[in-house]
Structures are given as C-alpha cells and as structure tokens.
Amino acid sequence: MPDVTPKVTPEAPQTAAPLPEIFADFAGMDRLPDLGTVLMLGTAKRHPEYAQLVGKPVVFRYPNEVEADGYIVSREQYGETFFYGALTSDIRDISPHD
C-alpha cells in the first residue's frame, strides 16, 4: 500500500523589512482630536526627509529609553508644513536592563 501520510514542508520564516526609525522626544507628546496621541517632529524646512515617509509605518524612538509604532502626518500651520508622529501602539520601554 502506498504511503498516504501527508508531507509537511516547513515554510521559510517571514522576515519583514525593518521599519524606518525616527528620533522622537516623547516629552513633547500631545493629543490632536483627529489623530490621538502625537509627537511633534518639526518642520519641513528642518526635516525634508520626512515628506517621503508621510502615511507610512515607522518606529518612533528615543534611544535607550522608549519607542512606539506609528506614522507621520503633515499639517499646514502658520504658512509652514509641520510633521507629527501619530502613535499606533503603546510606548515600549527599551532601556537597557542590568
């Protein structure tokens, strides 16, 4: 009788590309009615590189202290473009533990 045992081949683990990391000062957190908790990231003049990341998932990080997932949004205010980081996760402690 032929072998009828199903053969299971392990799949290669899924590896997602790491999300871009954005330096963020979590002491400057605020709440915006339409976005929830946000971090002020600066202006387009100071950080033009953020324009290409608007709406894309990123990790906001204050090195060796905390991080959170989110995305970047831009807002026109006072004749300038401001970037905010909208948080989509809890803030995680990443401080080194001795």
pLDDT 10s digits, 56-83:
999 999 999 999 999 999 999 999 999 9
Q: Quote the pTM value.
A: 0.79
For the CA atoms of the chain, what is the radius of gyration? 20
6 lies in a domain? no
Q: What is the sign, positive or negative, of the torsion defined by CA atoms of 63, 65, 69, 74?
A: negative
33 lies in a domain? yes
Which of 2, 95, 32, 20 lies closest to 57, judged by CA? 20
* pLDDT tens digits in sequence order for the chain, 98 residues long: 444 544 545 565 666 778 999 999 999 899 988 999 999 999 999 999 999 999 999 999 999 999 999 999 999 999 999 999 999 999 999 998 76
Which residue matches tokens 């959170």?
Answer: 68
Report the distance separating Cα 58 and Cα 7, nearest Å.
39
44 lies in a domain? yes
Report the distance separating Cα 26 and Cα 82, nearest Å.
17
78 lies in a domain? yes
Q: For the chain, give the mean pLDDT.
A: 87
* Count of domains forming the chain: 1
Domain range for 43 is 21-90
15 lies in a domain? no
